[in-house]
Structure 1
Amino acid sequence: MSETHKPSLLRVLSGETLPRPPVWFMRQAGRYLPEYRELRAKAPDFISFCLNPEMAAEATLQPMRRFPFSASIVFADILLIPGALGQKVWFEVGEGPKLGELPSLDALEAEIDGSTFKLTPVGETLSRVRAALEPERTLIGFAGAPWTVASYMIEGGSSDRSKARTFAYEKPEEMDRLLDIVARASVRYLAMQAEAGAQVLKLFESWAEGLPEDLFERIVCKPHRTVIAGLRDLGVETPVIGFPRGAASMAQHYADTVDVQAVALDTACPAHVGQAIQKSGKAVQGALDPLLLRAGGPGLDRRVDQMLEQWGSGPYIFNLGHGILPDTPIPHVEQVLKRVTGQ
């Protein structure tokens, strides 16, 4: 495939600057769409929904039918890995994810090789979506990054991560081993996704904020390097987007030390940080505030224009700074896409 015929997202990830950036939204498949809510009601629970290839593929494709997104991201969840490693995972309505008691590290270690087999439905979902998706639209696979996944495993659900951070300080060897276990399981999982049709892989580090520099290097950057090196050792050359949400100025250190092809920026990341990353030869992605997308109005147009101005002269992927909110009006999504794509 010639460079000019490559999907726009892949061109940007190879370092190219385009007149109009590719655009997709985190959580673009989800509760803001009435067709998604109708589909979700047919599944007995959220985990079953994620691991049903027919339903998950349909959820993945729904926003692609409505909107001119440049890329589609597989419908799954970052907490499928703990479940595959033997920790109980479920979702409480109105409360979010819950995890059972953390198994021993030896027990988790013993499940690494078999964990990918338990997640083969995600691979089937990807294959179904790739077969249905137009060739000019990119398919993205993903995994939760090791620190974020490990923090859920330790905390037992959503929290302020204080228990997990304390664990990292008090039991550094155990934490490092847990991160390594999650990283190695993630390598197998992501390699399976690439084989099934994912053209881009993304690491979601949702809880990278509030970390001192030394801890950020140890529990965010180092495990990310382990994942990417593991993929390359397996011969997987698929480009990777890293999302160290909340890293602020340390996103520059992340870009300098982790071999990703793009760094996804969160809503609060300063413009100059993204510009510096672009000058180093990497793409940036982001970073519209999901609350502004929900609010809409002239302020939304102004911010979109500002983002296109501040990052559009380098390799850039337009996206949100976090996931789209469930009560976001569909016309606001259309408003942004028209402004970015001209369609």
Structure 2
Amino acid sequence: MQQHQEDAASYRGAGVDVEREEQVLSRVIETVSQTFAFVRDVGKPVLPVGFFANVIDIGHGMGLALSTDGVGTKLMIAQMMDKYDTVGIDCMAMNVNDVLCVGARPIAFLDYIAVQHANPDLINPLMLGLKEGARQAGVAICGGEIAQVREMLASERDGWGCDLVGMCVGHVPLDKVIVGKSVAPGDVIIGIRSSGIHSNGLTLARQVLFAQNRYTVDTKFEELGRTLGEELLEPTIIYVPEVVEALARSLNIKGLAHITSDGLLNLLRLDTASHPVGYEIDRFPPIPPIFSLIQHAGGIPDHEMFQVFNMGVGFCVVIAEADAASFMDIVKQHGREALQIGRVVSDPEHKVVIRPRGLVGQGNQFFHV
């Protein structure tokens, strides 16, 4: 396999230096992990830092799942559209979907909104989006913070600069925590469709579509059936209802992966160290037209597209073959689309192979073969 160097350079050129982020993150994890020793009894983390969410032991066999995330530069699309009432759904989704990945049910949410000014025409729509996200996820927003930090926020429209971050809490019995330890060859990989770009890869998308090709949010594309801005603002899907129901029915779910940045490479985050496996993707749902548009407009190769974007699959479930059909039925009942996209195989090299595209992934990169 030959590594393609232009992928990292291209994404770095758009403002995201993945290699440097990995270097910084390794030091952050080292420092944060040292704080585990500060907890003597209730509240001890039961997972290492770096999974989709962590779980702390609160006693009596119960755990609290914790995760935090933000919307990122999707807020810049909202600003370009002057439409802020959906990005709160994205913020909720990015957090609750991560909490699902440890087998937990999300129950509560906190938000942090940084603004240039206390602008009600900005903050009120943001809160309406968070409220709708909370309704979809079945959680309560128990508190939050609004910080006026004008000098810290850049914005092309004075008074409208903002950042939106959330934190989710879920609950899970400690003996029901799912991190992938039971994943085995022969298990089935189910992919649940995304609604489009979700909340990852917007920096590269903006660079290609707006900076390089001079499109605007009002540019209409026949293949999208709407304007570019409307497509990019489509909210991230909240997968809570179908996954929580499947967990409640005690289906033999082995692993759960929220497909965000790094795409299907997120499957490699499952804890399968005791029995090295790989993931063979032999089918893939039709790729949403927004990704084909971005790829064509930027001349972006497949390997970079699949490691930056979800490419149409927003959430993956690794499940015993006997329960795969039941899980897909549950997804369908909730109005979502699911497809068996592959299987777990024995693989000491721990790879993700996307056969329809001739891609092999290890670490945080895909390679053409």
What's the TM-score, normalizing by structure 1? 0.23
Q: Which has the higher helix share?
A: 1
Q: Which has the higher strand share?
A: 2
Larger of the two Rg values belongs to structure = 2
